[in-house]
Amino acid sequence: MKSSWKIAGVLAILVTLFVGYAVLLWQGPWWLDGGHLRKRDLQPADGAVITGFRTALVALGAGAVAAAGLYYTDRTLRHTRDRDREQVELSRESQVTDRYVEAIKLLGSDRTVERLGGIYSLERIMRDSSKDHLTVVEVLAAFIREHASAPDQASQPDGSYSRPTEYVQAALTVLGRRPQREEPFRIDLRFINLRGADLKAVRLERVRLAGANLEKADLTEAHLEEAWMQETRLEGAWLNRAHLKDANLRAADLRGASLQDTYFEGARLHEADLSTASGCTAEQLQKALLDDDTKLPPGIAGEPIGAE
Mapped to the 3 state alphabet, what secondary structure does 33-93 carry? HCCCCCCCCCCHHHHHHHHHHHHHHHHHHHHHHHHHHHHHHHHHHHHHHHHHHHHHHHHHH
32 belongs to a structural domain: no
What's the full length of the chain, in residues? 308
Same structural domain for residues 272 and 237?
Answer: yes
Q: What CA dihedral angle connects 103, 105, 108 and 110, to 10 degrees?
A: -100
pLDDT attached to residue 70: 81
243 belongs to a structural domain: yes
Same structural domain for residues 168 and 206?
Answer: no
* CATH code for position 298: 2.160.20.80
User: Rounded to two decimals, what is the model's pTM?
Assistant: 0.71
pLDDT attached to residue 24: 61
39 belongs to a structural domain: no
Same structural domain for residues 305 and 235?
Answer: yes
Same structural domain for residues 225 and 308?
Answer: yes
48 belongs to a structural domain: no
Using DSSP's 3-state secondary structure scheme, residue 253 falls into: strand
Same structural domain for residues 213 and 141?
Answer: no
**DSSP assignment letter at 130:** G
Same structural domain for residues 178 and 191?
Answer: no
40 belongs to a structural domain: no
pLDDT attached to residue 243: 98
Same structural domain for residues 142 and 238?
Answer: no
Same structural domain for residues 139 and 191?
Answer: no
Rounded to an integer, what distance in angstroms lies between the CA atom of residue 8 and that of residue 2?
10
Same structural domain for residues 170 and 225?
Answer: no
Same structural domain for residues 226 and 111?
Answer: no
Same structural domain for residues 232 and 274?
Answer: yes
Cα separation values, 22 from 19, 61, 65, 107, 303, Å? 5, 11, 15, 75, 100
Give the bridge partners for 295, in sequence order: 273
104 belongs to a structural domain: yes
The DSSP line for 199-214 is: -TT-B-TT-B-TT-B-
Rounded to an integer, what distance in angstroms lies between the CA atom of residue 125 and that of residue 135?
10
Q: In this structure, is the dihedral angle defined by the CA atoms of residues 108, 113, 117 and 119, taken in order, positive or negative?
A: positive
Rounded to an integer, what distance in angstroms lies between the CA atom of residue 50 and that of residue 45?
9
Contacts 24+ apart (CB under 8 A), 37-42: none
Rounded to an integer, what distance in angstroms lies between the CA atom of residue 257 and that of residue 209?
17
Contact 237, 259 (CB under 8 A): no
30 belongs to a structural domain: no
pLDDT attached to residue 248: 98
Write out residues in the chain with pLDDT < 50, as ranges: 154-157, 301-308
pLDDT attached to residue 299: 79
Q: In this structure, is the dihedral angle defined by the CA atoms of residues 40, 44, 49 and 52, taken in order, positive or negative?
A: positive
197 belongs to a structural domain: yes
pLDDT attached to residue 285: 92
Residue 287's domain comprises: 186-308
Same structural domain for residues 199 and 212?
Answer: yes
Rounded to an integer, what distance in angstroms lies between the CA atom of residue 23 and that of residue 229?
86
pLDDT attached to residue 16: 78
For 292-301, write each residue's pLDDT tens digit.
999 999 877 4
Number of domains in the chain: 2
